[in-house]
């Protein structure tokens, strides 16, 4: 998948993520702007995929897993995505990036670095 196709797919996913927000306003047609968190999320996934070159499904699953790690260990999601980006730069697979990200977060929490 080339970069243009990937960005178009992420844009479509962003629109789909807004659908629950639009349903709240059924009686009025209102355009709901994307939140800053949504934009940061997709930008972070794009940076990670520059190194991993994974499919959309794998990347979305990786993003959900990274959010799960952030919630589980009470760490800001930006920190978790930054760690994953740095590990992806080392040409690791998506599975290795995920497991090493979790290990890094756990060790950082134990040593009170984050």
pLDDT in tens, 73-113: 999 999 999 999 999 999 999 999 999 999 999 999 999 87
Is residue 44 a part of any domain in this protein? yes
Only one residue has tokens 């740095």, namely 86
Is residue 39 a part of any domain in this protein? yes
Is residue 93 a part of any domain in this protein? yes
Is residue 24 a part of any domain in this protein? no
Model pLDDT for residues 23-69, shown as the tens digit of each residue: 444 455 444 556 777 778 888 888 999 999 888 888 889 999 999 99
pTM: 0.67
Number of domains, the chain: 1
Is residue 23 a part of any domain in this protein? no
Domain that holds residue 58: 34-110
Is residue 8 a part of any domain in this protein? no
Alpha helices in the chain (DSSP H): 3-23, 36-52, 56-72, 77-88, 94-110
Residue 22: predicted pLDDT: 43
Model pLDDT for residues 91-101, shown as the tens digit of each residue: 999 999 999 99
Residue 91 CB-density burial (10 A; 0-12 exposed, 13-18 middle, 19+ buried): exposed
φ, ψ dihedrals at 107, nearest 5°: -65, -35
Which phi-psi region, left, alpha or beta, contains residue 91 (left: φ > 0; alpha: ψ -120 to 50)? left
Identify whether the C-beta of residue 67 lies closer than 8 Å to the C-beta of residue 103: no
Q: What do you get for the CA distance between the two ends of the chain, in Å?
A: 35
Identify whether the C-beta of residue 85 lies closer than 8 Å to the C-beta of residue 48: yes
Question: How far is residue 51's CA from residue 93's CA, in Å, rounded to a whole number?
Answer: 9
Is residue 82 a part of any domain in this protein? yes
């Amino acid at each position: 998948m080339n970069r243009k196709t990937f960005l178009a797919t992420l844009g479509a996913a962003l629109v789909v993520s807004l659908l629950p927000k639009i349903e709240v306003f059924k009686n009025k047609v209102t355009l709901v702007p994307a939140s800053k968190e949504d934009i940061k999320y997709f930008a972070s996934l794009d940076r990670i995929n520059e190194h991993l070159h994974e499919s959309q499904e794998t990347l979305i699953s990786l993003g959900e897993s990274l959010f799960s790690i952030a919630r589980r260990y009470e760490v800001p999601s930006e920190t978790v995505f930054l760690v994953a980006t740095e590990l992806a730069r080392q040409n690791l697979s998506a599975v290795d990036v995920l497991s090493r990200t979790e290990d890094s977060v756990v060790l950082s929490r134990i040593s009170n670095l984050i």
